Structure 1
Amino acid sequence: MHILFLSDNFPPEVNAPASRTFEHCREWVRAGHRVTVITCAPNFPKGRVYDGYRNRLWQSETMDGIRVIRVWSYITANEGFVKRILDYQSFMLSATIAGLFVRGVDVVIGTSPQFFTACAAWAVAAGKRVPFVFELRDLWPESIEAVGAMRKGAVIRMLEKLELFLYRRATLIVAVTRAFRDKLASRGIARTKIEVVTNGVDMSRFRPRPKDPELVRRMGLEGRFVAGYVGTHGLAHHLETILDAAEAMRARPGGEAFHFILLGDGARKQALKEDAARRGLSNVSFVDSVSKDEVARYWSLLDVSIIHLRKTELFTTVIPSKLFECMGMGLPVLHGVAGESADIVRSEDAGIVFEPENTAQLIEALERLQRDRALLDRYRASCLEAARRYDRSALAADMLRHVEGAAAHEAGSRRASAR
């Protein structure tokens, strides 16, 4: 089978959509399938093209057996709603045109979070008369409203109509959470065509390792209990909660033993750095995004990982992908996200759940784990045990089975209608 996958994020970018797409496609190639990915020049999140690439109309390379076609798009930093929409729409147009020139395709997959990429996948699939699979990673445009980037109005209503159009036209929808499936079903989308394949962890890359001694020395972390956030610094994440905890820690007995690391980039990164400098937070270190090969070194510095999202009803439906990377690293989690992902943390005994934006609860959890090493070790062991249930290779095989089933079903339906 020849799978055409459209995604505007792909390695060497290191965000969650890029990692999931690459790791799934790599496994499908290993299973004997032909995979072509259409993406853009790597530039996320700073809006600057990575070294070794150019923003051309068309360029092609091969990565782990995957044919990767990079097309031109309007490139901008991950900030500013209007510019980002132009970015998404330009990729949609370029990807649609490029996709029509890829031959012998059996199925087309388009991934979110934003769904202009899925629009391109639908158009290409319709032009080729092959199944369209929508990989649903986010409830967009609902998430735009949730972070306050846009108020309900004519534009949001138009995007919601487009969203429902894509759900209805998809042969198969692969959602990353059960809550997404339930949400779509409540809006009239047939539950029978929605499958759930959660995010997971590449066990070959994320595994327990001792603290990197060179980084410990360079960052002055000797003897510190290190808590860290690794990921996008965006509107949705409300990382001010971590800064509030760092500030409050300085005034508490024994607070000097704690240090906080925030690794990544995003629309709020500069504002967070300025806020920390204003407060004089010497117990907070900011680290820019690093390559996938380097990120595990920084994960190793942490005693606990903090996962956090803004307190809003929408985010009770999401499962942050970094949760599974923490499991793979054997890193206990302080989980400031309510809903389905919090249920996973509790059921897997992977850490402590605290209320989003509740600084006092975060501090209490930090002090508890720093004080109770037996509990910390228990969570570490539980994380490693749980990681095996979210192995990316197994999840990729699960998604492939659903895609093959959808392709076979649609082919059968077309043969029947042709008689």
Structure 2
Amino acid sequence: MKDALIITNYFPPETGAASNRIFHLAEGLQKQNYSVSVITPLPNYPKGEIFDDYKGVFKNTSVENSITIHRLWIYASNSKNKLKRLIAMLSYSFSLIWFFMWHKLPNKVIVQSPPLLVAFTCMFFIRNKNRKLILNVSDLWPIAGLELGAFKKNFSYKLLERIERFNYKKADLVLGQSEEILAHITSIFPKKNTFLYRNFPDFDPPKLVEKPTNHRKIKMVYAGLLGIAQGIYKLCTELDYNNIQFHIYGAGAEKESIENLIATNPKLDIVYHGEITRSELHQALLHYDLTIIPLLNRIYGSVPSKIFEYGKLGLPMLYFGGGEGETVIKKHKLGWVVPSSDYKALNLQLSKIAITELNHRFKNQIQKTALKNFDFERQLHVLVKSL
């Protein structure tokens, strides 16, 4: 049996696309006859507080589903203050260095990026000619930060670019979630070994049951992080509710603002359901006509994993984020595409969608397409040959 270590910032019991993606990778490798271990911080995402079950400890090691998980200390924070965020990343980096000093590491290590500083810590301290370092790039930083307005092109940005290049240079193999990510990396290092590793979900698809669509309004749903990048609060204020009822699941920085908006504007047809487990969410989503996948600004390299997850659920999509995600939606005929941040075009498109279009036949077709093209097991099998 081969050994593999995964180093990540997010892992269950934390929720969200990042933790789900890494968990499925770890579980998939374990099923492919790998002995898998994971290093991750003490659970704290997305609230920025250590979960109750892990408070008061500096390190927790457990074995779950035959995977050994080392949870290390971190200064937990989700503050918008850049200094506090930097301290949080550095604290985890210091914990990693301490771990590296006292533990023997396997010859195959998969490092999640971003955060860039955490990835840099790994690429710098555990590089070894006999060790294969695999860098799993899910977003392009610092480019994404620049597009989101979090960075300016100054000395700090140039330093982050140097760190980014160092990470790519030291990686023996780079996994990228999009064609844009791989194109960016090979533009810097043309001979770098790369692998397109989409964020395909790993769960049993539900059987779709035909339901009447005799309600007047389209029941549209958003499920996920209520963060700045998604822009759900602004979306709530810009939507035309004549044709839709908007349902929201999730938590994040905009949660209170959205709740206050609903409380002070009862005429807005919005229902906030809070945060529920992933399995509960999958069941809930089957009762909606349409889902919206928004990004406030187009982020180069980003392809939301929701596309692949909702495909397996047979849920029609309205993509409102720009970039490569548009290509995936159009290519596989999963729904509709509207230019990012164009709310006039969004409302126009919503007014044109008839409730009768969102029928059982369309949902079945979406699910069949997803099962054929977004196959986690097939992708993992090809990946294992590259490791």
1:329 to 308, 313, 323: 313
2:212 counterpart of 1:228: no
> Per-residue deviation at 1:51?
3.7
2:294 counterpart of 1:305: no
> Do 2:5 and 2:37's aligned partners in 1 also have CA atoms closer than 8 Å?
yes
> Per-residue deviation at 1:137?
0.5
CA distance in 2, matches of 1:112, 1:239: 25
User: 1:165-244 counterparts in 2 under 5 A?
Assistant: 165-186=166-187, 188-204=188-204, 206-208=205-207, 225-244=218-237
Q: Which digits, 9 at most, give the CA deviation of each residue in 1:206-237, with x for residues without a partner?
A: 5355699xxxxxxxxx8753111111122211
Larger RCO, structure (CA 8 Å, separation 6 or more): 1
SS in structure 2 at match of 1:13 = coil
Structure 1 residues 100, 131: closer, same or farther in 2, change over 3 A?
farther
CA distance in 1, matches of 2:210, 2:219: 11
> Do 2:317 and 2:336's aligned partners in 1 also have CA atoms closer than 8 Å?
yes
Query: Per residue, is there more helix in 1 or in 2?
Result: 1
SS in structure 2 at match of 1:108 = strand
Q: TM-score, normalised by structure 2?
A: 0.91
SS in structure 2 at match of 1:68 = strand
Bigger drift between 324-333 and 78-87 goes to 78-87
> Per-residue deviation at 1:50?
2.5
CA distance in 2, matches of 1:208, 1:365: 29
Structure 1 residues 128, 193: closer, same or farther in 2, change over 3 A?
closer
CA distance in 1, matches of 2:191, 2:379: 20
Q: Counterpart in 1 of 2:344?
A: 360
Q: Counterpart in 1 of 2:35?
A: 34
SS in structure 2 at match of 1:158 = helix
> Per-residue deviation at 1:95?
2.0
> Per-residue deviation at 1:28?
0.8
> Do 1:108 and 1:131's aligned partners in 2 also have CA atoms closer than 8 Å?
yes
> Per-residue deviation at 1:203?
3.0
> Do 1:100 and 1:128's aligned partners in 2 also have CA atoms closer than 8 Å?
no
> Per-residue deviation at 1:164?
0.7
Q: Which digits, 9 at most, give the CA deviation of each residue in 1:125-152, with x for residues without a partner?
A: 3269512111001111121221112322
RMSD: 2.5
CA distance in 2, matches of 1:229, 1:272: 13
User: 1:254-269 counterparts in 2 under 5 A?
Assistant: 255=243, 258-269=244-255
> Per-residue deviation at 1:9?
0.3
2:363 counterpart of 1:395: no
> Do 2:143 and 2:300's aligned partners in 1 also have CA atoms closer than 8 Å?
no
CA distance in 1, matches of 2:151, 2:192: 33
Residue type of the partner of 2:231?
Answer: H
CA distance in 2, matches of 1:228, 1:372: 14
Structure 1 residues 78, 138: closer, same or farther in 2, change over 3 A?
farther
> Per-residue deviation at 1:60?
0.8
Bigger drift between 33-42 and 195-204 goes to 195-204
Gaps of 5+ in 1: 213-221, 404-419
Q: Counterpart in 2 of 1:341?
A: 325
> Per-residue deviation at 1:332?
0.4
2:364 counterpart of 1:381: yes
Bigger drift between 85-94 and 23-32 goes to 85-94
> Do 1:177 and 1:317's aligned partners in 2 also have CA atoms closer than 8 Å?
yes
> Do 1:238 and 1:357's aligned partners in 2 also have CA atoms closer than 8 Å?
no
CA distance in 2, matches of 1:106, 1:281: 59
> Do 1:79 and 1:266's aligned partners in 2 also have CA atoms closer than 8 Å?
no
Structure 1: which 4+ aligned runs deviate by more than 6 Å?
A: none
Q: TM-score, normalised by structure 1?
A: 0.84
Bigger drift between 4-13 and 115-124 goes to 115-124
CA distance in 1, matches of 2:110, 2:306: 23
Q: Counterpart in 2 of 1:219?
A: none
SS in structure 1 at match of 2:195 = strand
The percent of aligned pairs where both chains have the same amino acid is 22
CA distance in 2, matches of 1:375, 1:211: 11
CA distance in 1, matches of 2:350, 2:233: 16
Q: Which digits, 9 at most, give the CA deviation of each residue in 1:375-408, with x for residues without a partner?
A: 54454133212222212222232332222xxxxx
> Do 2:127 and 2:170's aligned partners in 1 also have CA atoms closer than 8 Å?
no
> Per-residue deviation at 1:367?
3.5
> Do 2:147 and 2:297's aligned partners in 1 also have CA atoms closer than 8 Å?
no
SS in structure 1 at match of 2:127 = helix
Gaps of 5+ in 2: none
